[in-house]
Chains A and B, each alone.
Chain A
């Protein structure tokens, strides 16, 4: 039997079996053999063997991306001395689906491992994961679903594309189900560019479907709004995606994939307390936010600044949702609706806090 391809697998604290958000601060650690989804990866693909798993917490990696990546590289080097003949051929990171912190860690690690250690690397992300825009040029990414329901399919895809990477075969986004990296590849076509262009034009004119051969990138940038000239007379509003709501969560905002935002009064409140407010965000450990919600929605400081005349007035309502695996389309709609409400109330500037 030919020798199996030796794989190292990267997982966050959740999939790595350390725990939930309470373990999100976990520093990188090394485990021999597969863990969690790695076992399925092993089982699905006889050509691969997961020889080790590296697990690190989402918060630790998001907050120390460079240092965390360095420590993981050191762990790999320390456990695979070349003189022992141990050679790793492939790093698989994730799948991280639409998880922002996890996705960033996977992207950074794949990039570092392939450029610094010369080990092929692959991750699997949902196309809207923010790590895609950051790392897709350098890192091969399988197109995964937006949540863990797509685990099996993503692992199968990772194994399939991972094998192609190790064998040095070309990766084709459409055929292989990967996220396009913007790399152009020459190929021979049966018809010339002119013929294909006329063909495409005819299809377009007749209202038929046509597929461009060179998709234009979409850069959705917003022109910065003009600065506030006189903050001392401006009305400023607070908005948060950190899930701070009145205790009891009256609008039942979901802990993940929120379908709505809430509008809540600040009138008569000088600061938020554990008795009045809480966090319902399912994407971070809420211990600190529950103990003192001003750590996410800084009402206490805003009141001080209002009293001192540094700002004209704090808008008497704040808006909150949970930014946790929220689709871009839904977030855009929340933003549009909140903006319309605030503009209508004469709010001139916004402080938006995210966890």
Chain B
């Protein structure tokens, strides 16, 4: 799905838990996330810490979208 979005001309950041799968399938802009059942959060942390984690991941995704790349890249 990520590839089809990118193929249509929209840069697409893939925030995902299992980076090797994203790489194999062929996403171009990959942002590794926290964990499978809570990719953009961490229930073990306080609400404030969790918000900060989520914010940092989304900001990383925005940077990926603002970066010109020639080939697949993991933004971590």
- List chain A positions with a Cβ less than 8 A from chain B: 21, 24, 58-59, 62-63, 65, 100-101, 104, 130, 133-134, 220-222, 224-229, 231, 236-237, 239, 241-242, 284-289, 291-292, 294-296, 298, 300-302, 304-305, 310-311, 321, 323, 331-332, 334-336, 338-340, 342-343, 347-355
Residues of B within 8 A of A134 (CB): 20, 24
A354 to B37 alpha-carbon distance, docked (Å): 10
Q: Let me know if A239 and B5 touch, CB within 8 A.
A: yes
- Cβ distance B51 to chain A, nearest Cβ, rounded Å: 7
Number of interface residues of B (CB under 8 A): 52
Contacts A228-B11, A294-B40, A305-B58 known; 18 new A-B pairs at CB < 8 A: A24-B36, A100-B21, A224-B29, A225-B28, A227-B11, A227-B69, A228-B65, A300-B54, A301-B51, A301-B58, A331-B1, A332-B1, A340-B8, A351-B65, A352-B2, A352-B13, A353-B39, A355-B36
Q: Let me know if B54 and A354 touch, CB within 8 A.
A: no
Q: Let me know if B15 and A352 touch, CB within 8 A.
A: yes
- 13 A-B pairs within 8 Å (CB atoms) are namely A63-B35, A101-B36, A224-B11, A224-B70, A241-B1, A295-B50, A298-B57, A335-B4, A340-B8, A349-B12, A350-B13, A353-B15, A353-B39
Q: Let me know if A220 and B67 touch, CB within 8 A.
A: no
- Cβ distance A162 to chain B, nearest Cβ, rounded Å: 26
Q: Let me know if B15 and A222 touch, CB within 8 A.
A: no
- List chain B positions with a Cβ less than 8 A from chain A: 1-18, 20-22, 24-26, 28-29, 33, 35-41, 43, 50-51, 54-55, 57-59, 61-62, 65-72
A355 to B62 alpha-carbon distance, docked (Å): 19
Q: Let me know if A220 and B26 touch, CB within 8 A.
A: yes
Q: Let me know if A342 and B54 touch, CB within 8 A.
A: no
- Cβ distance B30 to chain A, nearest Cβ, rounded Å: 10
Residues of B within 8 A of A231 (CB): 62, 65-66
Q: Let me know if A311 and B4 touch, CB within 8 A.
A: no
- Cβ distance A242 to chain B, nearest Cβ, rounded Å: 7
- Cβ distance B5 to chain A, nearest Cβ, rounded Å: 5
Residues of B within 8 A of A236 (CB): 62, 65
- Cβ distance B9 to chain A, nearest Cβ, rounded Å: 5
Q: Let me know if A349 and B37 touch, CB within 8 A.
A: no
Q: Let me know if B58 and A62 touch, CB within 8 A.
A: no
Residues of A within 8 A of B50 (CB): 295
Q: Quick one: which of A298, A301, A354 contacts B16, CB cutoff 8 A?
A: A354
Q: Let me know if A288 and B5 touch, CB within 8 A.
A: no
Closest B residue to A342 using CB positions: B10
Q: Quick one: which of A222, A226, A305 contacts B26, CB cutoff 8 A?
A: A222
A323 to B29 alpha-carbon distance, docked (Å): 19
Q: Let me know if B6 and A296 touch, CB within 8 A.
A: no
Q: Let me know if B38 and A288 touch, CB within 8 A.
A: yes
A236 to B35 alpha-carbon distance, docked (Å): 24
Q: Let me know if A222 and B6 touch, CB within 8 A.
A: yes
Residues of A within 8 A of B43 (CB): 288, 291, 295
6 A-B pairs closest in CB distance = A335-B4, A295-B41, A335-B1, A339-B8, A354-B16, A288-B38
- Cβ distance A283 to chain B, nearest Cβ, rounded Å: 8
Q: Let me know if A295 and B58 touch, CB within 8 A.
A: no
With A222-B28, A294-B41, A335-B4 already in contact, the answer to whether A352 and B12 are too (CB < 8 A) is yes
Residues of B within 8 A of A228 (CB): 11, 65-66
A77 to B58 alpha-carbon distance, docked (Å): 43
Q: Let me know if A349 and B11 touch, CB within 8 A.
A: yes
Q: Quick one: which of B1, B26, B40, B62 contacts A338, CB cutoff 8 A?
A: B1
Residues of B within 8 A of A339 (CB): 4-5, 7-8, 10
Closest A residue to B27 using CB positions: A352
